[in-house]
Amino acid sequence: MLGTGEMFPYFKCAECGCLQITDIPDSLKHHYDNDYYSFKKIRNCFDNVFKSYFKYLRTRYALADKKTPFAMLFLNLYPPPNYFDWLKKAAVTINSEILDIGCGSGELLVRLRKDGFNSLTGLDAFIEDDILYDNGVSVYKKTLSEQGSQYDFIMLHHSFEHMPDPMNTARNLYRALRQDRFVLIRVPVVSSHAWEKYGQNWVQLDAPRHLYLHTEKSIRIIAQKTGFEVKDITYDSDEFQFWGSEQYLNGISLKAPESLENGLERSIFTKKQIKEFKLVAADLNEKRAGDQACFYLYKSNPDKLGTIKVKNRKAL
């Protein structure tokens, strides 16, 4: 990403296929530059009154199980953002207590607040200090192990792969989640076409910030050992897996002046190529071969499991 040319060895687990950095650096802080995308503070935390009301209505209609004809018309004219798919699958309501871990400066939380959600908390160990927005969103400089509350929905958007102890993190997630609720983990996956094609030039390898590049199997193992059930997996990779990796093949870092991150005009790509990358990414997602996925981990409620009756048999 920064183009420093440093080398970091990784190894692959023979059991689950997870790709792991061999030696976790003592400190990762200097591997994040001051312009790291998730650390940019949000200046505008409020919409005007009319826009706020329309977003509130959209949220109520989008999350409702049964939709009236008016609600359907409203949502067709004013469709919700893609992230509502995550919320809907996790049975989130407008009053759910939501925690976003590794949220940076809390951009998604601020957007959710504008959508009408009213209980939003973020954690990020790499921000400079706590951020308390005027709209009620709070982002704290701490880890999950330091947070004692419980939540209705916990999100980790491309932060789980940055954590040095995924098993212990999953245990802390289980502790911090209320029963009959979901954790959403979105991560790059090494069991993907992009990894097979690009290898060490795969842009989502992102050494050394990504300590673990998971597979479906590795996430299932972690879930099973920590009490979770993997309820659903959806792939949501995009064209970044191609243009970012192609840049690396051509010696262009993400922060280079000619990177596509700075605009198409100075990049090595054409509009047609980017369009093709998007189409291929969508096809790979359908085939479960994209380079990132959403894992919905469920914490069951023992009261809903019922009683299992077992016959008493004499030992042979």
Mean pLDDT of 222-247: 98
| Percent of the residues in the chain that have a pLDDT greater than 70, as a whole number | 91
Q: Report the SS3 class of residue 282.
A: helix
Tell me what pLDDT residue 44 has. Answer: 75
Please identify which residue in the block is written with the tokens 């200097």: 30
Give CATH for domain 81-302.
3.40.50.150
* DSSP letter assigned to residue 214: B
Tell me what pLDDT residue 25 has. Answer: 86
Per DSSP, what are the bridge partners of residue 20? Answer: 11, 212
Q: Strands, DSSP E only, in 49-188?
A: 98-101, 120-123, 131-132, 138-140, 151-157, 177-188
Q: Which tokens in the block code for residue 165?
A: 């102890």
At residue 117, does pLDDT exceed 60? yes
Tell me what pLDDT residue 42 has. Answer: 72
Q: Which tokens in the block code for residue 114?
A: 């504008």
Enclosing H/E stretch for 272: helix 271-286
Nearest to 63 by CA among 78, 82, 48, 85: 85
pLDDT tens, position by position, 34-90: 565 555 667 777 778 889 999 999 999 999 988 999 999 999 999 999 999 999 999
What's the rounded Cα separation, in Å, for the pair 79 and 301? 33
> Mean pLDDT score of the chain, rounded to an integer?
91
What's the rounded Cα separation, in Å, for the pair 167 and 311? 36
pLDDT tens, position by position, 124-164: 988 889 999 999 999 999 999 999 899 999 999 999 999 99
Tell me what pLDDT residue 308 has. Answer: 36
What's the rounded Cα separation, in Å, for the pair 104 and 172? 19
Band of pLDDT at residue 316, cut at 50, 70 and 90: very low
What's the rounded Cα separation, in Å, for the pair 106 and 104? 5
The structure's pTM equals: 0.90
Per DSSP, what are the bridge partners of residue 188? Answer: 292
- CB–CB of 194/237 below 8 Å? yes
* DSSP letter assigned to residue 81: P
At residue 100, does pLDDT exceed 60? yes
Tell me what pLDDT residue 306 has. Answer: 43
Tell me what pLDDT residue 309 has. Answer: 37
pLDDT tens, position by position, 261-312: 999 999 999 999 999 999 999 999 999 999 999 999 999 877 654 433 333 3
Nearest to 173 by CA among 160, 183, 161, 186: 183
Please identify which residue in the block is written with the tokens 């491309």: 158
- Residue 266 falls in which region: left (phi positive, over 0), alpha (psi -120 to 50) or beta: alpha
Q: Report the SS3 class of residue 246.
A: helix
Q: Is the peptide bond before 208 cis (omega within 30 degrees of 0)?
A: yes
- What is the residue extent of each domain of the chain? 81-302
User: Strands 212-213, 177-188: parallel, antiparallel or unpaired by DSSP?
Assistant: unpaired
- CB–CB of 19/213 below 8 Å? yes
Tell me what pLDDT residue 220 has. Answer: 98
Q: Report the SS3 class of residue 173.
A: helix
Distance, C-alpha 309 to centroid of its chain? 40
Q: Strands, DSSP E only, in the chain?
A: 10-12, 19-21, 98-101, 120-123, 131-132, 138-140, 151-157, 177-188, 212-213, 229-235, 292-299
